[in-house]
Chain A
Amino acid sequence: MDLQTLTSMNWGIMAPEFTVLGTALLLSLLDLFMPRQKSRRILGILSAAGIVLASVFLFLQFSHEPASLFHDMYRLDSFSKAFKLILLLGTGLILILAYDYKMDREEEYRGEFYYLLLTALLGGLIMASSADMITLFIGLELLSLSSYVMAGLRKRDKESNEASFKYVVTGGISTAITLFGMSYIFGLTGETNLYTIGNALQDTSILQNQFLIAFAFFITFAGLTFKIASAPFHMWAPDVYQGSPLPVTAFLSVVSKTAGFALILRFFLLVFSSAPGIKGDPLLFQVQPYLAFLAGATMIAGNLAALRQRNIKRLFAYSSIAQAGYILVPFVSVSAMLFETTWFYLLAYLFMNIGAFAVIQEVTAHSKTHDISGFAGLYRRSPWLAIAMTIFILSLAGIPATAGFIGKFGIFMNALGASQGHYVLAGILVGTTVISYFYYFNIIGQMFFRPEHQEGRLLHKKGLLLVTAVCAAATVILGILPGTALHFFYEQFQLTDFFQTMEQK
């Protein structure tokens, strides 16, 4: 490849990525040359500007024809646009959280967080856009490595160190497993591009390796469950969520998870959509019972363990494991509504979870404890914050008139509307949802029924209030008028281009 072909390529389709990358580089340089004893909060504003700019580019791309770079290695299609929207939105909100996060004196002078957040986001964007095992893996690792460091950002804090260490070790193991699985796929087909792999797997000579294909499927899937924190790789979440600084926890539970789902959907649907199963049925149908088992186990494990938590961050870690189980259901049942319902749930999840984390940050900063008793009497101390938190919790619990309910309804339609209805899975879903009432409503009970331990009003940082208000409004609006988001989705994203290969223009 000479310089001419390199410059003639349509690099414009990577505009959001380049913006994020440029901002990250700029910030790291600035951080280097800024005086030691100067607050790095200015970097936060710059990175926010970078994200806004990247979002503007993304919006401009909405009307763009589907396009690709390097023969479908890097795609700008509806799927990537839809997921990038969530990633950028989530990171933007988390940045505001981070801006108001009360660091220790020393950490105030450290700028790493901001550009690590941006590189992690960049990894997520690459994951959403890639259709090649190599770029997918680069995106995955970029996201993971940045997250490992972010988890350990409070370096004087034991829990933060523990979080980072556990995250690196389990992350490394899962990455190795993912790669192991991918190596089978590469070995069977000799290709790295997902579309060509998908075609190659239909070859009759492959048929004698049916078992290897199924094996590759499970190994890769098991490795990738790490990113979305679902069974079997979910046990890192509680420790890491608990130890990480709060904005990082929010990032891991929302943005990182969304990127993980984008990767899983893209990878497995493209590679295995027409892969032969063992004797007969297509593989994606044959693996459904096993995937359903994993999804069910995730919901049960997450919800049951959450029952016993007193630490609010740990509780939300288990809650987010449970939520990952819910979001896996559409993927398990592979129905025609897979994309919109998953997208909608992730969007709803973004607002309700980041909103909840904003309130948690506000409350724990004031009460100096992560025990849920810190929420006691919040309604008396700060009624609006308590009402917002109630909205988020009701949404997480899937109560109607909130976004979470519509999302769950969509998931149900997937589970029961698929060619063979997954009644057991749907049953586990509602059963565990009822179990989740115990711990979700326990927080509400603390806020409304218990007398307050502490006096005084909360700090009410402006950024946090903004995030809380935006998320609460979005949660309610998406709950009452979900048609707006769905209409937007159908208007902007024609997902029929998901399975189409594109010749480079």
Chain B
Amino acid sequence: MNYMLSLLVFSPLVGILALSFLSWKNERAIKLAGLFGTLLPLILVLIAAAGFHSSVSGLQMTEQANWISYTLEGLNGSMQLKINYELGITGLSLVLLILTAVVSFLAALASWNMKNASKSFFIFFLILELGMLGVFASQNLFLFFIFFEITLIPMFFLIGRWGYADREKAAYSFLIYNGIGSAILLIVFVALFMKTGTLNYGELTKILASPDGAAVAGSTFRLSVLVSLLIAFGIKLPIFPLHTWMLRVHVQAPPSIVMLHSGILLKIGAYGLFTFGVGFFPEEFKKLGVLIAILGVINLLYGAFLAIVQTDLKKVLAYSSVSHMGIVLIGLAAMNEAGVKGAIFQLVSHGLISALLFFLIGVLYERSGSSDIQDFSGLAAAMPVTAGVLLAGGLASLGLPGMSGFISEFLAFIGLFQTMPIIAAIGALGIILTAVYILRAVLAVTFGPKKETHSAFKDLTVLEKVPAFVLLALVLLIGVYPEILSKSLTTVLDTILLGLRG
């Protein structure tokens, strides 16, 4: 029995505990404690990664413990409904865990200059990280749901207390939309539990795929469960037209929290869709393939079109996130190796790129108190490093070869062209639009007439260079050497593709 994963998931508690003993007056100590609170999971996840065997298929580092059990007194003896505490990781969850730990650490670093970041800010921050780590490490729907909801509450507070002018509205709309999503999830999970008697991912997959699985859960049941999952995770992802809450959050939440939100929380939607949708119901997912592909293309084009007309950098990026999540859907809909791989690459790649870009917006906002594109024209003269990193991030986002964005878009479209060429062709227009809105925004910021006010702006400080360069380096690394990611994903892809072929 090893407790590596439990240690990892609950490691943010150390920081929370340390914070709760600190005096609220000692700002520096609080920030340090917050930072070290996120450093600990990062170290642990790297240790876990070192012990992970990427060539072995199936779950690793599994943990299991009895938790809750209901006894059913039936006419023919008693039966037990068990809910266990089950953790375990696959290559995919490991990658996402690393992403979570890295982005969290960098986001904590990015909060260093926040003036009103208090003790409770970091406590909520760490609870949020705990929830995110738990979501990716769970091997049980019940546990997944608990961690999923644990991310909800701190997010509500983080937006509602530390956000910008319209923060409360954003917090409530976040809460309600995601509340609806989790409500649907809860029904789905309980229904599955009652039909199959288990909540464990592996057992569920086995039961649903087995020959008598049809008797346990009929085809209408499966289809309605899948559609419900699509809606529930579609809110999280978000899928058009369920995206309005996410725009508000991206605009109103403090930058370091948006790094987490855009970088990781949105990925939970895709992860759920992949693990539960594709994993449990591959047949039905295939049937819905066209619908999902169309939804993906709509996301891609709609996000891109609206990103073109925005004047606020935050909004450009928010719509860009909508657009990029479309690529995840496109990749999943293709349901072949290239497509699914592209979708997963897109998760990681977008997580890193959007964290980087929102970090930079935070830097700019802190100096100027604005995020309007026009206020920054000619920034390259005053802040050459910032402008340079912004340009690089933008290029990565539009899918320049050699950066991570290229790999994922390329793979996702290859996948879709194989199965649905017409939809893929329409979707490919999105790539052009992406280039248009990214270049429009980034070039308007970097070049153009220089503003007087900029001379007072300081370029990135040493502390700020760390998140910027680390994220950019990771984006480049994946772009140049994608093998580093795909190595650990091979076995996951194999299992999924095996399920697809039936």
CB–CB A434/B153 < 8 A: no
Identify A430's interface contact among B66, B81, B146, B184, CB under 8 A.
B184
CB distance from A21 to the nearest CB of B (A): 35
Nearest-neighbor residue (CB-CB) of A442 within chain B: B172
CB distance from B25 to the nearest CB of A (A): 14
Which segment of B189-197, B401-409, B484-492 sits at the interface?
A: B189-197
A413 contacts B66, C-beta separation under 8 Å: no
Partner of B150, one of A400, A409, A482: A400
CA distance A417 to B152 in the complex (A): 28
Contact with A along B65-82 (1 / 0, CB 8 A): 011111111100000010
Are B156's CB and A399's CB within 8 A?
no
Q: Do A337 and B72 touch (CB < 8 A)?
A: yes
Docked-complex contact A448 and B190, CB < 8 angstroms: no
A430/B150 contact (C-beta < 8 A), A438-B176, A483-B68 known: no
Complex-state Cα separation, A445 to B176, whole angstroms: 14
Whether A406 contacts B73 by the Cβ 8 Å rule is: no
The answer, yes or no, to whether B183 is at the interface (CB within 8 Å) is: yes
Question: What separation, in Å, do the CA atoms of A431 and B187 have in the docked complex?
Answer: 11
Across the two chains, which residue of chain B brings its CB closest to A340?
B70
Provided the pairs A413-B194, A437-B176, A441-B172 are in contact, do residues A430 and B186 lie with their beta carbons within 8 angstroms?
A: yes
CA of A426 to CA of B184 in the docked complex: distance in angstroms?
10
**Is there contact, CB below 8 Å, between B190 and A413?**
yes
Tell me the chain B residues, 143-166 only, with Cβ under 8 Å from chain A.
145-146, 149-150, 152-153, 156-157, 160-161
Secondary structure dominating the interface of A: helix
B191: contacting residue among A405, A421, A490, CB under 8 A: A421
Tell me, in angstroms, the Cα distance from A426 to B186 when the chains sit together: 10
A410 to B176, CA, bound (A): 23
A496 to B73 alpha-carbon distance, docked (Å): 8
Once bound together, how far apart are the Cα atoms of A445 and B159, in whole Å?
11
Q: Any chain B CB within 8 A of the CB of A138?
A: no
User: Is B499 on the interface with A (CB-CB < 8 A)?
Assistant: no
B180 contacts which chain A residues (CB < 8 A)?
A: 434
Within 8 A of B (CB), among A421-449: 421, 423, 426-427, 430-431, 433-434, 437-438, 441, 445, 448-449
Complex contacts, B66 vs chain A, CB 8 Å: 483
Assembled-state Cα–Cα distance A143/B135 (Å): 47
Interface size on B, residues (CB 8 A): 36
Q: Mark B190-231, 1 if CB is under 8 A from A, else 0.
A: 110110000000000000000000000000000000000000
CA distance A409 to B145 in the complex (A): 11
Cβ-defined contact, B70 with A412, below 8 A:
no
CA distance A423 to B195 in the complex (A): 13
Does A53 reach chain B (CB closer than 8 Å)? no
CB of B175 within 8 A of chain A? yes
Quote the shortest CB–CB distance from B9 to chain A (angstroms).
13
In the complex, A399 Cα to B171 Cα: how many Å?
A: 16
CA of A246 to CA of B288, assembled, Å:
55
Beyond A412-B190, A421-B191, whether A336 also contacts B68 by CB under 8 A is no
Report A129-154 residues with CB < 8 Å from chain B CB: none
**A169 vs B74: C-alpha distance in the bound complex, in angstroms?**
44
Interchain CB contact under 8 A, B69 and A449: no
| Chain B proximity mask over A392-426: 1 for CB below 8 Å, otherwise 0 | 00100001110001100110110011000101001
How many Å from the CB of A401 to the closest CB on chain B? 6
Tell me the interface secondary structure of chain B in the complex: helix
A336, B160: Cβ atoms under 8 Å? Answer: no
Bound Cα distance from A413 to B187, whole angstroms: 9
Residues of A within 8 A of B187 (CB): 412, 416, 423, 426-427, 430
- Chain A residues near B157: list those with CB within 8 A: 448
Contacts of B69 in A (CB 8 A): 483, 486
Shortest B84–chain A CB gap in Å is: 11
* B312 at interface, CB cutoff 8 A: no
B63 contacts partner chain A, Cβ-Cβ < 8 Å: no
A416, B153: Cβ atoms closer than 8 Å: no
Residue on B nearest A490 in the bound complex, by CB:
B71
Contacts of A406 in B (CB 8 A): 68
Q: Are B191 and A416 within 8 A (Cβ)?
A: yes
B68 touches A400 (CB 8 A): no
The CA of A405 and the CA of B142, in the complex, are separated in Å by 11
Q: With the chains together, A421 CA to B161 CA distance in Å? A: 41
B contact residues around A405 at 8 Å (CB): 146, 149
Distance in Å: Cβ of B250 to nearest Cβ of chain A? 20
Check if B482 is an interface residue, CB within 8 A of chain A.
no
Q: Does B168 contact A (CB under 8 A)?
A: yes
A497 CA to B74 CA in the complex, in Å? 14
Residues of A within 8 A of B (CB): 336-337, 340-341, 394, 399-401, 405-406, 409-410, 412-413, 416-417, 421, 423, 426-427, 430-431, 433-434, 437-438, 441, 445, 448-449, 482-483, 486, 490, 495-496
A-B contact pairs, 18 of them (CB 8 A): A336-B72, A394-B153, A399-B152, A400-B145, A400-B146, A401-B150, A413-B70, A413-B190, A416-B191, A421-B191, A421-B194, A423-B191, A426-B187, A426-B190, A438-B172, A441-B156, A445-B160, A449-B160
Given A416-B187, A421-B194, 18 other A-B contacts at CB below 8 A?
A: A336-B73, A394-B153, A405-B146, A409-B142, A410-B70, A413-B194, A421-B191, A434-B179, A434-B183, A437-B175, A437-B176, A441-B156, A441-B172, A441-B175, A445-B168, A445-B172, A486-B69, A495-B73
Q: Which 4 A-B pairs have the closest CB atoms?
A: A430-B183, A417-B194, A400-B146, A412-B190
Taking beta carbons and an 8 Å cutoff, which residues of B are in contact with A?
A: 66-74, 81, 142, 145-146, 149-150, 152-153, 156-157, 160-161, 168, 171-172, 175-176, 179-180, 183-184, 186-187, 190-191, 193-194
